[in-house]
Structure 1
Amino acid sequence: MKRRSLVGGIALAAAAPAALRAASGRRIGMSDIDRLYKRFAEIIARDHQHGGQLVVEQQAAALADAALNLQNAGGATQRVRSGLYAAAAAFRSSAMWAAIDGRRYDDAKLHMREAQSLAELSGDQAIKFRIWSHAGTMYRHVGRAVDALAANDVACNLHITRRDPLFACLGHARQAASLGLARDTAGVQRALGRAQDAWERADRSLVRPVWMTAVLDGAELETLAVAAHLRLGNFEKAEMHAHRSLALLHPRMRRDRALNTVRLAAAQLGQGDIEPAVATAMKVPSDIAGRHARVAPMLQGFGTALRATAADSSGARDWAEHTATWSIAV
Structure 2
Amino acid sequence: MASSTVNAAHASRPDRPARPNLVFQQLRGARSPAEFAALVRRAAREIGERVSCDARYIGRVEAGEIRCPNYAYERVFLHMFPGRTLVDLGFTPRSAVRGRAARPPAAESGGGVEPYDTQDPQDPQDPYDTHHHDHEESDVLRRAFMTGSGATVAAASLAPLGLAPAASAAAIPHARRTVRRAGAGEASALEEAVRRIRLLDDRHGADGLYRRAAAPLRAAYALLDAGATRQVTADRLHAGAGELAISVGWLAHDSGRFEDARSHYAEALATARVTGDEALEAHAFCNMAFLARDAGRPREAVRAAQAAQRAARPLGSPRLMSLLALREAGGWAGLADRFGCEQALGRAQALFERGPSDADPEWMSFYGEAELAGLEAQCWSALGDWDRAARQARRAARLQDPHFTRNTALYTAELADDLARGGRPDEAAAAGLTVLGLLDQVQSSRIQTMLAGTARVLLPHRRASGVAEFLERHASAPRMA
Aligned pair partner of 1:7 in 132, 146, 171: 132
C-alpha separation in 1, matches of 2:387 and 2:257: 32
C-alpha separation in 1, matches of 2:133 and 2:197: 16
C-alpha separation in 2, matches of 1:125 and 1:187: 26
C-alpha separation in 1, matches of 2:465 and 2:133: 46
Amino acid at match of 1:284: V
Q: Cα offset for 1:28?
A: 4.4
Q: Cα offset for 1:275?
A: 1.3
Amino acid at match of 2:187: I
Q: How does 1:31-42 map to 2 (within 5 A)?
A: 31-42=185-196
2:468 corresponds in structure 1 to 317
User: Is the contact between residue 330 and residue 379 of structure 2 (CA under 8 Å) also seen in structure 1?
Assistant: yes
Aligned pair partner of 2:229 in 76, 88, 91: 76
Aligned pair partner of 1:236 in 387, 393, 397: 387
Secondary structure at 1:294 match in 2:
helix
1:129-161 Cα shifts (integer Å, max 9, x gaps): 221111111111111111111111111211446
1:272 corresponds in structure 2 to 423
Secondary structure at 1:183 match in 2:
coil
Secondary structure at 1:327 match in 2:
coil
Q: Cα offset for 1:287?
A: 6.1
Amino acid at match of 1:306: L
Q: How does 1:1-330 map to 2 (within 5 A)?
A: 4-7=129-132, 15-16=157-158, 17=164, 24-25=178-179, 28-53=182-207, 56-73=209-226, 75-160=228-313, 163-202=316-355, 204-206=356-358, 208-215=360-367, 217-286=368-437, 288=439, 292-308=444-460, 310-328=461-479
Moved more, 292-301 or 166-175: 292-301
User: Is the contact between residue 25 and residue 75 of structure 1 (CA under 8 Å) also seen in structure 2?
Assistant: no
C-alpha separation in 1, matches of 2:423 and 2:314: 40
User: Is the contact between residue 320 and residue 360 of structure 2 (CA under 8 Å) also seen in structure 1?
Assistant: no
C-alpha separation in 1, matches of 2:181 and 2:443: 45
User: Is the contact between residue 28 and residue 75 of structure 1 (CA under 8 Å) also seen in structure 2?
Assistant: yes
Secondary structure at 1:98 match in 2:
helix
User: Is the contact between residue 205 and residue 443 of structure 2 (CA under 8 Å) also seen in structure 1?
Assistant: no
Amino acid at match of 2:447: V
Moved more, 112-121 or 42-51: 112-121
Amino acid at match of 1:43: I
Q: Cα offset for 1:318?
A: 2.3
C-alpha separation in 2, matches of 1:101 and 1:8: 24
Secondary structure at 1:76 match in 2:
coil
Amino acid at match of 1:95: V
Shift in CA distance, 117/157, structure 1 to aligned 2, threshold 3 Å: same
1:252-308 Cα shifts (integer Å, max 9, x gaps): 322222121111112222332221111111000456389631111211111111124
C-alpha separation in 2, matches of 1:127 and 1:74: 20
Superposition TM-score, scaled by structure 2 size:
0.61
Shift in CA distance, 157/299, structure 1 to aligned 2, threshold 3 Å: same
Secondary structure at 1:250 match in 2:
coil
Amino acid at match of 2:450: M
Instruction: Give structure 2 stretches of 5+ with no counterpart.
Output: 1-127, 138-152, 159-163, 172-176
C-alpha separation in 2, matches of 1:288 and 1:37: 29
**Count of equivalent residues:** 323
1:240-262 Cα shifts (integer Å, max 9, x gaps): 21122112222232222212111
User: Is the contact between residue 48 and residue 256 of structure 1 (CA under 8 Å) also seen in structure 2?
Assistant: yes
Shift in CA distance, 8/213, structure 1 to aligned 2, threshold 3 Å: farther
User: Is the contact between residue 329 and residue 379 of structure 2 (CA under 8 Å) also seen in structure 1?
Assistant: yes
Secondary structure at 1:239 match in 2:
helix
User: Is the contact between residue 57 and residue 98 of structure 1 (CA under 8 Å) also seen in structure 2?
Assistant: yes
User: Is the contact between residue 264 and residue 280 of structure 1 (CA under 8 Å) also seen in structure 2?
Assistant: yes
Q: Cα offset for 1:207?
A: 6.0
From the CA coordinates, give the structure whose radius of gyration is larger.
Answer: 2
Q: Cα offset for 1:115?
A: 1.5
C-alpha separation in 2, matches of 1:56 and 1:124: 27
C-alpha separation in 1, matches of 2:227 and 2:294: 42
C-alpha separation in 1, matches of 2:223 and 2:236: 11
Among the aligned pairs, what percent are the same residue? 28
Moved more, 123-132 or 4-13: 4-13
Q: Cα offset for 1:320?
A: 2.4
Amino acid at match of 1:7: H
Q: Cα offset for 1:311?
A: 4.2
Secondary structure at 2:340 match in 1:
helix
Which of the two has greater helix per residue? 1
Amino acid at match of 2:276: G
Of the two structures, which has the highest relative contact order with CA contacts closer than 8 Å and spacing of 6 or more? 1
User: Is the contact between residue 291 and residue 328 of structure 1 (CA under 8 Å) also seen in structure 2?
Assistant: no
User: Is the contact between residue 57 and residue 94 of structure 1 (CA under 8 Å) also seen in structure 2?
Assistant: no
Q: Cα offset for 1:171?
A: 0.2
Amino acid at match of 1:212: M
Secondary structure at 1:251 match in 2:
coil
C-alpha separation in 2, matches of 1:255 and 1:63: 23
C-alpha separation in 1, matches of 2:276 and 2:196: 24
Compute the RMSD of aligned alpha carbons.
2.8
